[in-house]
Amino acid sequence: MTRLETRLVHAGRDGLREACVHAPPIDLSTTYPVADLEAGTASFDALVAGEASAANPIYARLHNPTVARTESALARLEGSEACVAFGSGMAALTAVLMARRAHGGHVLVVRPLYGTSDHLLASGLCGLEAEFVTADRIAASIRPDTALVIVETPANPTVDLVDIRAAVAAAGSVPVLVDSTFATPVLQNPLALGARYVLHSATKFLGGHGDVIAGVVCCEDALAQPLRTVRAATGGLLHPLAAYLLHRGLPTLSLRVERAQANAQTLAERLAAHPRVARVFHPGLGTVRNAHLVGSQMAGPGSLMAFELAGGYDAAAAVMRAVRLMTPAVSLGSVDTLIQHPSGLTHRVVGAADKAANGITDGLLRLSVGIEHVDDLWSDLAQALDAAATVPAAQAA
């Protein structure tokens, strides 16, 4: 098998040489002519039932060739039989939850995880009872009606790591879904460790340029089929232009991840030594849960970190206001560096007690490090920390 860097460049490009084109084509059709009604009916039935393809795509909500090409590329990167793409990471998670309802009404969830994922699960909107547990309580919490175990590693926003092999062993026959958005296939392959589903908010590193919203689930064929049925019925499809942009970003994924990771390690070390920073959460410093998994489960510590300011909320708000090179915005995994306040933004919908129990304080900032020159990033961050120290608390609030 070719190495990952080569697969990133060539995955999903099958048939281009025969078609005498170099760039993958974009199919923007919403509907497809049905010249033979009997063949069209057979295609419709196959796609509604969750088949990966049919002789006629019929309608773009059921199938699109550009989306399918991107799915094949991502399946190859994760080493899965199939990949199903959706209009967002949340649409992807929702589809998995809806598909698992046929297997039970109970889901185990390990915190922390992305705030909107937490909110969706806690709300019961998908008709499932979500029980939030620590990773060491998975085995003891499995019930006869447990349909899924969900872990996010590295976790959002504290970058804690969960031992995937241990979670899979504890779950027994219950499938484990790993949200691997922070790691990407460059740093982590959950399916190889026993997980049954791996989910990515492809908006983040996989797209990598802040111009695509997408979500993907990689899994075996038998698990992918009901996901396609849910997608067809609910309209959670990925637009073909977004699929094209997502595919176009893949060849540089390893380069982007490696550069951003190196930058993050340097920034984490400098932040840890700064007098206005109370704590830095980064696997490369050994300051998160299960940091020992770097080098085994994960190929590297990644480019996400969180840091807590000694001045609490006032200092955090002032830093976000003072940065000039970094972008104060939610999301992550882009080529540029983004900084945001989890308690007030991405995790605002999580209850205060649950945030506190998982280290999401008012003084915590999350940093998604980009590929800029690290010294320029540090200059911006250092001046923002200095500026925060001079802002009166009332003004910062």
Read off the pLDDT band of 352 (50, 70, 90): confident
Query: What does the alpha-carbon distance between residue 5 and residue 112 come to, in Å, rounded to a whole number?
Result: 31
According to the model, what pLDDT value does residue 391 have? 59
With b meaning 16 or more CB within 10 Å and e meaning fewer, what string describes 15-39? eeeeeeeeebeebeeeebeeeeeee
pLDDT, average across residues 49-78:
97
Predicted TM-score (pTM) of this structure: 0.95
pLDDT at 390 over 80: no
pLDDT at 389 over 90: no
Burial class (CB in 10 A: 0-12, 13-18, 19+), 102: exposed
pLDDT, average across residues 252-261:
98
**pLDDT tens column, 92-142:** 999 999 999 999 999 999 999 999 999 999 999 999 999 999 999 999 999
pLDDT at 165 over 60: yes
Write out the chain in H/E/C secondary structure: CCCHHHHHHHCCCCCCCCCCCCCCCCCCCCECCCCCHHHHHHHHHHHHCCCCCCCCCCECCCCCHHHHHHHHHHHHHHCCCEEEEECCHHHHHHHHHHHHHHHCCEEEEECCCCHHHHHHHHHCCCCCEEEEECHHHHHHHCCCCEEEEEEECCCCCCCCCCCHHHHHHHHCCCCEEEECCCCHHHHCCHHHHCCCEEEEECCCCCCCCCCCCCEEEEECHHHHHHHHHHHHHHCCCCCHHHHHHHHHHHHHHHHHHHHHHHHHHHHHHHHHCCCCEEEEECHHHCCCCCHHHECCCECCCCCEEEEEECCHHHHHHHHHHHCCCCEECCCCCCCCCEEECCCCCCCCCCCHHHHHHCCCCCCEEEEECCCCCHHHHHHHHHHHHHHHHHCCHHHHC
pLDDT at 267 over 80: yes
Active-site residues: which are they? Answer: 61, 114, 179, 204
According to the model, what pLDDT value does residue 392 have? 55
All structural domains of the chain, each given as residue ranges with its CATH number in brackets, are: 253-396 (3.90.1150.10)
pLDDT, average across residues 163-173:
98
According to the model, what pLDDT value does residue 111 have? 94
Percent of the chain with pLDDT over 70: 98
Read off the pLDDT band of 388 (50, 70, 90): confident
Read off the pLDDT band of 396 (50, 70, 90): very low
pLDDT at 178 over 60: yes
Query: What does the alpha-carbon distance between residue 326 and residue 381 come to, in Å, rounded to a whole number?
Result: 8
Read off the pLDDT band of 395 (50, 70, 90): very low
pLDDT at 349 over 60: yes
Reading the block at residue 170, the tokens are 């504890």
Read off the pLDDT band of 170 (50, 70, 90): very high
pLDDT at 197 over 50: yes
**pLDDT tens column, 16-60:** 999 999 999 999 999 999 999 999 999 999 999 999 999 999 999
pLDDT at 394 over 50: no
pLDDT at 353 over 50: yes
